[in-house]
Amino acid sequence: MDNAFNWLDTLVVVVYFLGITGYGLWLTRRVKTSDGYFRGERKFNKWIMIAQGFGAGTHSENFVAQTGASFQMGFASIWYQWKNMVITPFYWLIAPWYRRSERTTVGEIVEDRYGRNMGIFYTVFAILFFIFAQGAMLKGAGKVISVATNDMISTDGVVYAMTAAFILYSFFGGLVSSAYATFIQGFMIIILSLMLIPLGLGRVGGMEGMHHLLPANFFELFSPELGIGWFTIAMLALNGVIGITAQPHMVSMCATGRTERDGRLGQTYGSFVKRTVTIGWAFTGLIVAALVLQNGKNLSDPEMAFGYATRELLFPGLTGLMVASILAANMSSASNFMVNSGALFTRNIYKVLLKRDASDKELLWVGRVSSLGLTLLGVLFALYVKSVLHAFLFVETIAAFMGIMIFGGVVWKRANRYGALAGVLTAYVLYYMLNYLQTGAFEIVYKWKPAPFGWAMLAGFTVMIVVSLLTRPEKKEKIDRFFGNMLRLSDEDRIRNGQKPLAAPLGHDLLLLDLPSWFTRERWKGFPKRYKEDLLGFLYAWLFVGGLILLAWGIIKM
C-alpha cells in the first residue's frame, strides 16, 4: 500500500476547507446584532444543540490523547476521557442554570451572584481557559496530521491553515456560523472515530490476533495496577461535574436553544455521542498497539498512535478524509471557543470597565476583534504544549477549581464572594504546592494525579464554606433576584406580559438549587410532580450510562 499523502488526499482536504469555510461565510448574513453573534438569538433547535454539545466538546486532543493512552496502557485508560461518563446525567440538572440566568456569558452570571470584581476575576480565568484549550487542540491536530502525512504537512502548517479557516467564518458569523458548521462537522468526527477499526482488525487478525499479541490487562475496563482504579475514576468524575459548571462556553452550550429542554438535550446527549465514539478511540489504541508489535516497530511518543494508524491503514483519498475529519473536530470547538472568548471580553471587560454606553454595533465589532486576538494567543500556547493528554487534563482541572465558586454559588445560597475567592485560591495554591513537593520542579502543566487534585478540591470547598460563614453574606436583594430567576421557567412561549412563570407548578423546578433547603418541609411539597422534568431526564440519562458501559465491556470481551 502506498502510504504517501498524494494528490487525491490533498484534493479532499482542499474541498473540505473551501466547503466548510464557504458554508460558514454564507451563514453570516443572519448575524445583525451582538446577541445574534454571541448567542444566535437563542433560536437553535434540539438537533443543532446536540451537534453543538458534541462538536464543541470534541477536539483533536481528545482522540489523540485517548488513542495514545490505550496504546500505552490498555482499554481501561478510557476513563481519562470517560471521567465525565458517570456525571453526564448531572448535565440534565445543570443545563437550565445558564438559560435562566438570562445572561450572555458565565462572567455575567458570576457578577450577578458575587459582584463586579468577581465577574472580572472569572473573566480573566475564562480567557486563559480558552487560550489553553485552543493551544491543546491545535497541538493535537498538528501531531496526528504530521504523522499521518509522513510530515508532508508540518505541525505549524496545520495550525496556521486550520486557524485561518475557522477564524474567517467565525469572525463574521459568530455562534450562528459556528453552530451550523459544527452540525456538519459532527458527522465527520463520527466517521473519524470508526474509520480505522475494520481496517485495523483485518490487519492484526481480528480480536483473536489482538488477544494473542497484547497482555490480558489491556482488555480490562478497570485496571488498578495501571493506576486507573475506583479512586482515580472518582476523582476524574469530581473533576468533571464541578469543572463543567465553570467552563466559559456553557452559556452557548446550554442557553442558546429555543427552549430549556433543547439546552438539556444538547448538553446531555451531545456529550453521550462523545462518550460513544470514545469507545472507538480507545479500541483503535489497542489495534495500534497490536499493529506496532506485529510490524516490529516502536513509537517514540504514544500520542503518535492515531497518526501512525492513519498512515498505515488508509488508502489514498481516505487519508485525506481522515485529515479533514481531524480538522473538523478542531474547527468545531475552536470556532465556538473563539466566539465565547470575544463575548467574555466584550461583555465583562469592555462594556464594564471601558465603555458602559457602547452601542450594539460597537459591541459586535469589539467581539469580533477581541475574539481574533485571543485566538492567536492560543496558537502561542500550542508551541509550549508537549503532552496533549496532560494539557487536556490541565485545562479541565483549572476549570474544576474555578467551579468551586460557580457550583457552590448555586447549590448554597449562603456562599459569598469572600468564601468563593478564598476557596478557589486555596485549591489552586495547594494543587501546585503538592505537585511541586512531589516533583521538585515548578511547571504550568503537571501530569494529572488524583491525590493532589482530591486534596485541593476538599480544601477549596472547606475554605469556601468556613470563610462564607465567618464573613457577611451577600445583599439579600441580590441573592433573591439571582435565585428568583432560577425558580422561573425561561421558555419564551411560556412568558405572559413580560412575566416568566414559576417552574414548580409546571414540573420544571430544579433539584440542585440551594441544597440546604432540602432540610425544610417547603422544599418537599409537591414532590415528585414539581421536579418531573429533572427526575425523568436524570433517570433516562443513567440508563444511557449503563448501556454505554455494557457496550464497552462487551466489545473488549469479544
> What's the pLDDT band for 288 if we cut at 50, 70, 90?
very high
Alpha carbons 161 and 148: distance in angstroms, whole number: 16
Range of the domain at 366: 7-414+473-478+533-556
Alpha carbons 341 and 390: distance in angstroms, whole number: 23
Q: Measured over all CA atoms, what is the biggest interatomic distance in the chain, rounded to whole angstroms? A: 73
The 10s digit of each residue's pLDDT in 524-547 is: 999 999 999 999 999 999 999 999
Whether 224 maps to a domain, the answer reads: yes
Alpha carbons 82 and 237: distance in angstroms, whole number: 8
Rounded (5°) CA angle 163-164-167: 80
Cα within 13 Å of Cα(313), Cβ side: 25
Whether 464 maps to a domain, the answer reads: no
Distance of CA 455 to the CA centre of its chain: 24
The 10s digit of each residue's pLDDT in 157-186 is: 666 666 666 666 555 555 555 555 556 656
- Residue 537: all three cell numbers together: 431526564
Answer yes or no: are the C-beta atoms of 69 and 389 closer than 8 Å. Answer: yes
Alpha carbons 366 and 372: distance in angstroms, whole number: 10
What is the model's pLDDT at position 166? 62
Q: Of residues 423 and 106, which shows the higher confidence score?
A: 423
Whether 59 maps to a domain, the answer reads: yes
What is the model's pLDDT at position 457? 95
Whether 70 maps to a domain, the answer reads: yes
Whether 393 maps to a domain, the answer reads: yes
Whether 527 maps to a domain, the answer reads: no
Alpha carbons 455 and 228: distance in angstroms, whole number: 18
**What is the average pLDDT across 117-131?**
87
CATH number at residue 132: 1.20.1730.10
- Residue 184: all three cell numbers together: 456538519
- Grid cell 495554591 is found at 429
Q: Which amino acid is at 5?
A: F
**What is the average pLDDT across 122-143?**
77
Answer yes or no: are the C-beta atoms of 545 and 89 closer than 8 Å. Answer: yes
Whether 443 maps to a domain, the answer reads: no
Number of structural domains found in the chain: 1
Whether 504 maps to a domain, the answer reads: no
Does the pTM surpass 0.85? The reply is: no
Alpha carbons 303 and 358: distance in angstroms, whole number: 47
State what percent of residues in the chain have pLDDT above 90. 36
